[in-house]
């Protein structure tokens, strides 16, 4: 394995959110590692739980497209809301696109779930 890749994976395994997001992206795109959407989602979740907006956004994309997880627009909307609250500007555009496919009660449920998620994870967040 390439020494730089090995070092990056080591940082990700040690809990560095940016490294976790990069490793997730690599698995999502098959760059330097075999493409594996399920593994990508696992790495994105680790980084998202630390408050990394890019990872939260990437989870929204994975749910919107059904990559590594069942396609779920409600879950995608939720992750885009979370990412937007973390400062990811493009998340609002993606959230608005997904919103057109949802009913009012689904939007409300996704917003409530996002608010609950933020409230329970806020203390874990890293600087973004």
pLDDT value at residue 58: 98
CATH code of 108's domain: 1.25.40.10
The structure's pTM equals 0.92
* Coil, helix or strand at residue 91: helix
Closest-CA residue to 89 (of 128, 33, 123, 34): 128
**125 pLDDT higher than 70:** no
- What is each CA distance from 50 to 2, 25, 92, 107, 127, in whole angstroms? 27, 16, 20, 24, 9
pLDDT value at residue 128: 42
- Count of domains for the chain: 1
Reported residue count of the chain is: 128
Q: What is the pLDDT of residues 22-37, one digit of tens each?
A: 999 999 999 999 999 9
Cβ within 8 Å of residue 128, ≥6 positions away:
51, 52, 53, 86, 87
Domain extent for 44:
3-124
Q: Residue 121's pLDDT band (boundaries 50, 70, 90)?
A: confident
Query: Are the C-beta atoms of residues 76 and 41 closer than 8 Å to each other?
Result: no
| Mean pLDDT computed over 2-31 | 95
Closest-CA residue to 94 (of 65, 51, 125): 65
Taking the mean position of all CA atoms in its chain, how far away is CA 7?
22
């Amino acid at each position: 394995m390439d020494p730089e890749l090995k070092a990056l994976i080591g940082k990700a395994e040690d809990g560095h959110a940016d490294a976790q997001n990069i490793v997730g992206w690599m698995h999502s795109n098959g760059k330097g590692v075999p493409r594996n959407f399920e593994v990508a989602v696992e790495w994105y979740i680790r980084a998202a739980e630390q408050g990394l907006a890019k990872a939260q956004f990437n989870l929204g994309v994975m749910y919107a497209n059904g990559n590594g997880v069942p396609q779920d627009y409600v879950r995608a909307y939720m992750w885009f809301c979370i990412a937007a609250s973390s400062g990811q500007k493009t998340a609002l555009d993606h959230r608005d696109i997904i919103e057109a496919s949802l009913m009012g009660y689904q939007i409300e449920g996704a917003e409530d779930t996002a608010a609950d998620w933020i409230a329970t994870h806020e203390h874990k967040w890293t600087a973004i």
